[in-house]
Amino acid sequence: MPEFSKLQKTINLTFKNDGILRQALVHRSYLNEHPEFACGHNERLEFLGDAVLEIVVTEYLYLNYPDTPEGDLTNWRASLVNAKMLYVIATELELENYLYLSRGEAKDKDKKSRHYILANAVEALIGAIYLDQGLDKAKVFILKMIVSKLPEILKTQAYLDPKSRFQEQAQDKRGVTPRYDILGEEGPDHAKMFTVGLYLGEELVASGEGSSKQEAQVDAAAKGLKTLNW
């Protein structure tokens, strides 16, 4: 069983109810193998934590950026509360060491599925802090661990999706608008994979893959930003 004293020290909180902290880290798969386990899974806490995270981040942006248009604030908020960012937070907190997973899930190191499990656990942890410690303590945690990432997000324009970022850079640095061409399709209709090329004029900058054309374009744009060091 995970020992939670280190985690509580890391987040600078001492839970009144250890059980709610434990539940925040119980994946549904664990209960399938351990139906007698005293705690439930973390999905309801995740639901609660998602709402708490959203209101705290929204309030912070609203109060601290009074002249910023709503559309920009929406993009900034999305960059702070998305699964990619929450996975980063989970890694910093070493949450994987505390997760209750089924044997199958524990062995499965599939990057995407494990990232989502960890991101969801951060939301569940926020829900647990809110229930056990109140909104003020949940707010302190969110501001310290998540909102603190905002300056770097603004500096790198990470709040823009890769396609928007690549287009802005291409027009600024090269004076051209990028285009995306389909290079290939593989697999049956229900599981098709697309390969898309990203071009500046006739130059193939990068190619991307995805289960939809849009996903492949985003992948190509992200790779293009790295290739051109943009």
Task: Note whether 13 and 88 are within 8 A (CB).
Answer: no
Instruction: Fill in the amino acid letter for 189.
Output: D
What is the greatest pairwise CA distance in the chain? Answer: 64
The residue length of the chain stands at 230
The Cα–Cα gap between 219 and 208 comes to 5
Beta strands 193-200; 179-186: pairing state: antiparallel
If residue 214 lies in a helix (H) or strand (E), which one and from where to where? helix 213-227
CA neighbor of 146 nearest in space, from 62, 55, 85? 85
Residues whose CB is less than 8 angstroms from the CB of residue 21 and which lie 6 or more positions away in sequence, other chains included: 4, 7, 8, 15, 125, 128, 132
187 Rama sector, left if φ>0, alpha if ψ -120 to 50, beta otherwise: left
User: Residues with catalytic annotation?
Assistant: 50, 123
CA neighbor of 104 nearest in space, from 42, 43, 36, 27? 27
